[in-house]
Chains A and B, each alone.
Chain A
């Protein structure tokens, strides 16, 4: 008798099988990714983008994803922030037209710092949309979704294979690192410079393994009759068994319609009425008040 499955291994983590996300068709979940990732492009107002981040976090919680998994992205969030605000500080633009303010004895300019914050909120909102999707979906879900929206098979398969390769690359990296640690490499006592040197050393075996894997996968694809045209030996249409295991239900149409309407409204309001600019931001007013500019 098949064993009862309790969790699904997704592209970025593990999610219980009873996650409410699995009540929706993979294409609906892909639409959610598109909605959460594209909407911030039309929104400058940081309050809205922060709200989208909150929505993504709520959906992660609702989808029974352990929020502890998010911790691993903190270094990324911090690095992006550091980079954006450093650029805004070091290269603010034409200083004569900007509003200066003093903080910790340093001179900053309000406009570039504020714009860095606006852009950061937008970027992080998009990133959380992606984290939500890849934490709750498997490669199979992505394949089904792409086939449902009628993306050519070759394109969808190459995309799925690329995602899988990224996971394999990380696994190979971990294996090489464990092998080095097993032979006495003490990462904790190393200086940052030594660690950087070590990471460059990883490149050689990783590159060799990646080449070997590419070769193996290419042979495996040939062995199983894969061709780029994806036309089967019979010459007819390619079977699509995987896609037919899923049905688009009424709740999927409702969710897609709701997201489509919300997205359409954002685009119309932005383009037609100039809404969602940062002029109306309360955070901006607060920021000005705090820095006294």
Chain B
């Protein structure tokens, strides 16, 4: 079966105006349609810059020097207009407040829908769908500034989801919220993945929460994509990850240590549930 690429990044380099160094250098990356991609890497490595390039904020809104191309469903981002890009690529900013443009949650969700020309008779249904999926249906009349951090993040996600983009980018969606809020965001991502209707890209330091959802993990380090692999393969080489400032899930590290000492020889677990199952196997003498 032929793979259809949602995103194709070819020999892409970008330098922000007045910056000395290139933020991204010779990046090549392909993301299949309908997949879940987790992007990891240390701070200032270029993850957000890469996402801004896929979204088209680079080069449309941010000035700088560009080389190479970024294509979304075959169309070069550089030559695609804002409304078309908005329809294809949804972007949830790390700081949800940074994306609020209205004074009530309902208007916040509505804004993008009117921009991309969703028919009026369909708008109400989309607002209901997105607000229920993200658990913000009871906040529609509230100002998005007067709600909790987790709620703000869910409103930000709802306002992008309602536009039903082909690609959904979440840039550090759990960085500014409490543990309960984090769980809710992960739950939303899991539900979206289950529908299979969107290509999802999550940039996240907290790999623990998203590793099990990912089809592929991308490591961005010092402006370059240094590894792309399925999560199990990606988290196998802990030494490589440590050299590139990436912390694998704690449960993975624990079982890697056990394996190193000859106490475990199974596949490394990515989630707590997998860890518990592996632990039971160990106790039963099956995993060693």
Contact = CB atoms under 8 A, between A and B. Distances in A.
Given A232-B83, A244-B120, A9 B115 contact: no
Given A139-B103, A225-B116, A233-B86, A241 B124 contact: yes
B102 A220 contact: no
B87 A225 contact: yes
A138 B104 contact: yes
B86 A220 contact: no
Interface stretch (B30-38, B136-144, B191-199, B226-234): B136-144
Contact of B101 (A224, A236, A238): A224
A219 interface: yes
Given A218-B61, A220-B98, A233-B86, A138 B103 contact: yes
B104 A219 contact: no
Given A9-B143, A238-B117, A241-B124, A225 B61 contact: no
A218 B60 CA distance: 11
Contacts of A171: 145
Interface string B158-177: 01100100000000000000
A221 interface: yes
B60 A222 contact: yes
Contacts of A140: 102-104, 107
Q: Which of B114, B116, B124 has the most CB of A within 10 A?
A: B114
Contacts of B93: 216, 219-220, 223
Nearest to B123: A241
Interface residues of A, number: 38
B262 interface: no
Q: How large is the interface on B (under 10, 10 to 19, 20 to 34, 35 or more residues)?
A: 35 or more
Contacts of A5: 141
A235 B84 CA distance: 10
B115 A219 contact: no
A272 to B, nearest CB: 43
Contacts of A151: none
Majority DSSP secondary structure for residues of B touching A: helix
B99 interface: yes
A3 interface: yes
A80 interface: no
B25 interface: no
Given A9-B143, A222-B82, A139 B102 contact: yes
A223 B55 contact: yes
A240 B110 CA distance: 10
Interface string B44-74: 0000000000011100110000000000000
Contact of B117 (A223, A234, A244): A234
A140 B103 CA distance: 7
A233 B81 CA distance: 8
Given A218-B61, A224-B86, A236 B117 contact: yes
Contacts of B117: 232-236, 238-239
A161 B101 contact: yes
A-B interface, 3 closest residue pairs, ranked by CB to CB distance from nearest: A225-B86, A232-B117, A233-B83
Interface in A123-148: 138-140, 143
B101 A217 contact: yes
A213 to B, nearest CB: 8
B82 A227 contact: yes
A78 to B, nearest CB: 31
Contacts of B239: none
A242 B82 CA distance: 22
Contacts of B99: 216, 219-220, 223-224
A164 B116 contact: no
Contacts of A219: 57, 61, 93, 98-99
Interface in B197-225: none
21 contacts: A5-B141, A9-B146, A139-B103, A219-B61, A220-B99, A221-B101, A223-B86, A224-B163, A225-B86, A225-B112, A225-B116, A226-B86, A226-B111, A227-B82, A231-B83, A232-B114, A238-B114, A239-B113, A239-B114, A241-B110, A241-B114
